[in-house]
Chains A and B, each alone.
Chain A
């Protein structure tokens, strides 16, 4: 157990340092001013939706449009969009309500993208979730990755912001301590690891891999798109730019549900790779080692190191984590350890009103209303 814990702390330290190095990479200016269509699927009132949409009202460095796609004409998000349109009448926003109801039985985010994409005029399609907030120059900096013609798809790192509840803090810490360094390591290893909260794809590359329609039946359309882009012969890039995932209010239950859903997604893509993730969580092994006779000081040292690692990640990414939230890192690691076993026992996910079993590569099976 001590050896496993030591290996784990070495790996996580390496990840944290690698992330800090990655973030210091020089950013390049966009090679030109391509037209960017930002596709934003909306469903209900995400935390501070108005503030998130407002952050897209006056982007700099790009010619752009924002296509806001809503399935249900009675969705409360529409009122928020209308409020934004009144406050920012010159913002290049377009609201699209409705679409093919048959697609709603699959991945509903993809259904929204399918509804919006035919009206997008951009050479680059930028997918941005409703809870993502950006700075004015972020989109321009992100698409600078397309300066390299081999790059077909690029995604952003993202960290939580705005947490006001215990569950939201835990979710933000999970993004920072686990998701961010995982993405960075994958990028250095040249393994596609795409999280669709904020990602961009060239239009012609999307067409070459079958359009969004090809991904209507999978839960993790982002990673599936990344893998398809790679198979089509293009590179999948990770931008050093960090965008904010606004998570204001979460119950712990909901935060854990998301962790478990993401665990199941990674498990569905590669059981072997998923199983190695136990190694990047050294604290549970340290506690087990203590139970079997190892000195308590060793466990305390692991705790202190983990907190230092997360602090380094917060500084490197500019994540708005409060110092007292760092004290939650040990608890987060233990919860993450316990949720890590769930995919081996259960392949069913519940998400946005439906439940489904996850097949290989997150293909949605036996979809039913939740």
Chain B
């Protein structure tokens, strides 16, 4: 089983760390697979335009450089940590009303995928790009801005366009997702170091990218676990998972 975190942000959008720093942090902590998924925010509403103005999004213009840095760091991650790095993005449509907001991970993409237009159009584009499509924090109830209920409220209509749903995100578990019997993953939605210890996905496959993508698209046999940090762990970062010493 591979330990995977498929929802990680860097300085390319609103994360605090650079991609090399993320690779070192996750590589040293024993992860087998990570996905860099910076925001690609829609530019066709006010919230989106403000986000673009502050530079908190990957754009069509800089996607090539973003993709190239991931590719370069993926090679280093493999050489130094035997960790696989997948290029992705979090396609982001933020609206004032939580029922209209949707965040979707598009994993394993080579080209820019726009988040403009309707959510349904965004899903079509992600699938056309051959991505693994994951509904992000579909039932999060924490604060208004992060609540993204559009997909959840239409789960039967959009099920064919979504491979996986986040059952667990960072430190939250979403029981309604469990009860809906949807194929699931667990991720950290990493933005900064304290988010390292969070929910993770366990993948039952060989450690190679093609097999990982196939396994994610199949969505069967996946498991999730929450990585805990313990102050008295044998070695909080290097010894994964944390252990207690009585």
Q: Is A95 part of the contact surface with B, judged by Cβ < 8 Å?
A: yes
Please state if A90 and B241 are interface contacts (CB–CB under 8 Å).
Answer: no
Q: Is B110 part of the contact surface with A, judged by Cβ < 8 Å?
A: no
Q: Is B24 part of the contact surface with A, judged by Cβ < 8 Å?
A: no
Given contacts A90-B232, A92-B243, A121-B241, contact A99 B221 (CB under 8 A): yes
What B residues does A74 contact at CB under 8 A? 175, 178-179, 181
Q: Which residue in A65, A82, A90, A99 is a CB contact (below 8 Å) of B223? A: A99
Please state if A59 and B243 are interface contacts (CB–CB under 8 Å).
Answer: no
Given contacts A93-B228, A94-B241, A97-B167, contact A63 B234 (CB under 8 A): yes
A10 to B19, CA, bound (A): 75
Please state if B167 and A63 are interface contacts (CB–CB under 8 Å).
Answer: no
Render B185-224 as a binary contact track against A, CB cut-off 8 A, 1 for contact.
0100000000000000010100000000000000011111
Please state if A65 and B241 are interface contacts (CB–CB under 8 Å).
Answer: yes
Given contacts A73-B177, A119-B1, contact A92 B242 (CB under 8 A): yes
Q: Is B120 part of the contact surface with A, judged by Cβ < 8 Å?
A: no
What A residues does B231 contact at CB under 8 A? 90
Q: Is A361 part of the contact surface with B, judged by Cβ < 8 Å?
A: no
Please state if A73 and B184 are interface contacts (CB–CB under 8 Å).
Answer: yes
What is the chain B residue whose CB lies nearest that of A74? B178
Complex interface residues of chain B between 46 and 74 (CB less than 8 A to chain A): none
What A residues does B244 contact at CB under 8 A? 63-65, 90-92
Q: Is B121 part of the contact surface with A, judged by Cβ < 8 Å?
A: no
Q: Which residue in B226, B232, B246 is a CB contact (below 8 Å) of A95? A: B226
Chain A residues with a Cβ under 8 A of chain B: 35, 58-65, 72-74, 78-79, 82, 85, 89-102, 115, 118-119, 121, 136
Chain B residues with a Cβ under 8 A of chain A: 1, 3, 167-168, 173, 175, 177-179, 181, 184, 186, 202, 204, 220-228, 230-232, 234, 239, 241-246
Q: 5 smallest A-B Cβ distances: which pairs?
A: A92-B244, A98-B223, A73-B178, A74-B178, A96-B225
- A65-B243, A95-B226, A96-B224 given; 17 more Cβ-contact pairs under 8 Å: A59-B246, A60-B246, A64-B243, A65-B244, A74-B181, A78-B175, A90-B230, A90-B232, A96-B225, A97-B167, A97-B168, A97-B186, A97-B224, A98-B184, A98-B224, A99-B204, A100-B221
| A-B contact list, 15 entries, CB within 8 Å | A60-B246, A63-B234, A73-B178, A82-B173, A90-B244, A93-B228, A94-B226, A94-B227, A96-B223, A96-B224, A97-B224, A98-B221, A99-B204, A119-B241, A121-B241
